[in-house]
Amino acid sequence: MGKIISLLNHKGGVGKTTSVINIGAGMVELGLKVLLIDLDPQANLTLSLGVPRQKYSIYEAIKGECELVPFTVRERFDIVPSTLDLSGAEMELVNEAGREYILRELFEPVIEDYDFIIIDCPPSLGLLTLNALTCSDYVYIPLQTEFLALQGLTKIKQVIDKVKFRLNKKLEIGGVIATMYDARKVLNRDVVQTIHKYFGEKVFKTLIRDNVALAEAPAQRCDIFAYNSKSNGAQDYLALCKEILERVEVEA
Ligand SMILES: Nc1ncnc2c1ncn2[C@@H]1O[C@H](COP(=O)(O)OP(=O)(O)OP(=O)(O)O)[C@@H](O)[C@H]1O
Ligand SMILES: [Mg+2]
């Protein structure tokens, strides 16, 4: 049965989407089958992988108009795309009974088909994010190794705790990913230390370095392994995937 992972941080631009794409692609490199879910109305994940406009996106599925319709990026690598329409979903579902469970229900028929389902959350803590947390085994928090990295984290922890208590007992913070790390910068090193103090063992040992190839790949509509498999970005995300697999196995 596939594991469901949400990448969450309500702070914008910390590396959620980049991590979803490249953890996903890294797992595919390791021979696994992966489904990515673009749950962000900005549709950055969809655009970054060059998915052409589809008849059915996550929006129609969430509205109950269709089942999940994955688009195949390449062998063993699927994505359910998003569109800007999704920005209306939170309002449109406000009176829907069981509205936090919509995504969980949508995953039921496909969960056996994948090793990992990885969800790209929007930079907010609204209904879409609640849906992601309600169906996830793990939430991973990417943190940019810059000033204010930890600001607002109390709020994220509160939301996770509430979801765990009320909606999804199995939910765990599965890991914290330090992103855009530059070892030459004292500030970056200091922030990594602070992150370790706050999250302890949860922090992945792999640091995702600041690497221009990671920013260039989306412009070529591809993941880092397709763009430049020798880049630091590819090495880091592959190392992170191996670490994730170890953790998931230990916990199983
Ligand atoms: N390790 C990295 N090195 C260099 N650039 C990076 C790295 N990770 C992400 N970026 C770049 O930083 C920007 C923000 O990253 P990304 O879109 O993944 O963040 P996000 O948390 O998904 O943002 P949002 O909250 O808007 O959805 C992007 O332009 C991305 O290409
Ligand atoms: Mg994003």
Query: What digits encode the pLDDT tens for the residues 8-29?
Result: 999 999 999 999 999 999 999 9
Terminal Cα-to-Cα distance of the chain (whole angstroms):
12
Burial of 128 (0-12, 13-18, 19+ CB in 10 A): buried
- The amino acid sitting at 86 is L
Residue 252 pLDDT more than 80? no
Evaluate whether 36 touches 20 at the Cβ level (below 8 Å). yes
- Select from 99, 106, 116, 90 the least CA-distant residue to 19: 116
Strands (E), 69-171: 71-74, 77-80, 116-120, 138-144
Residue 111 pLDDT more than 90? yes
- Ligand 2 centre distance from Cα of residue 225 (Å): 19
Residue 165's pLDDT is 97
Hey, what are 72's tokens? Answer: 């195949």
Q: How far apart are CA 10 and CA 91, in angstroms?
A: 19
Which ligand lies nearest the alpha carbon of 236?
A: 1
Residue 186's pLDDT is 96
Residue 250's pLDDT is 84
Residue 251 pLDDT more than 90? no
Residue 115 pLDDT more than 80? yes
Which residues line ligand 1 at a C-beta cut-off of 6 Å? Answer: 12-18, 40, 42, 44, 123, 179-180, 208, 210-211, 214-215, 218
Nearest residue (CA) to ligand 1, atom 16 = 15
**Minimum-distance ligand 1 atom for the alpha carbon of 42:** 27
Nearest residue (CA) to ligand 1, atom 9 = 15
Residue 240's pLDDT is 98
Average pLDDT over every residue of 61-85 = 97
Residue 1's pLDDT is 80
Residue pLDDT, tens place only, 189-235: 999 999 999 999 999 999 999 999 999 999 999 999 999 999 999 99
**Minimum-distance ligand 1 atom for the alpha carbon of 14:** 21
Residue 2 pLDDT more than 90? yes
In this prediction, residue 57 has a pLDDT band, given cuts at 50, 70 and 90, of very high
Nearest residue (CA) to ligand 1, atom 30 = 215
The pTM of the whole model exceeds 0.85:
yes
Q: How far apart are CA 227 and CA 222, in angstroms?
A: 6
Q: How far apart are CA 225 and CA 26, in angstroms?
A: 7
Average pLDDT over every residue of 21-47 = 98
What residue segments make up the domains of the chain, in order of their start? 3-251
Residue 152's pLDDT is 87
Which ligand lies nearest the alpha carbon of 210?
A: 1
Residue 102 pLDDT more than 90? yes
Domain 3-251: which topology?
Rossmann fold (3.40.50)
- The amino acid sitting at 227 is Y
Percent of the chain with pLDDT over 70: 100
Nearest residue (CA) to ligand 1, atom 20 = 13
Residue 5's pLDDT is 98
| Substitution candidate for ligand 1 out of 17, 42, 125, 237 with most atoms within 8 A of CB | 17
Nearest residue (CA) to ligand 1, atom 7 = 180
Hey, what are 86's tokens? Answer: 């999704």
**Minimum-distance ligand 1 atom for the alpha carbon of 212:** 4
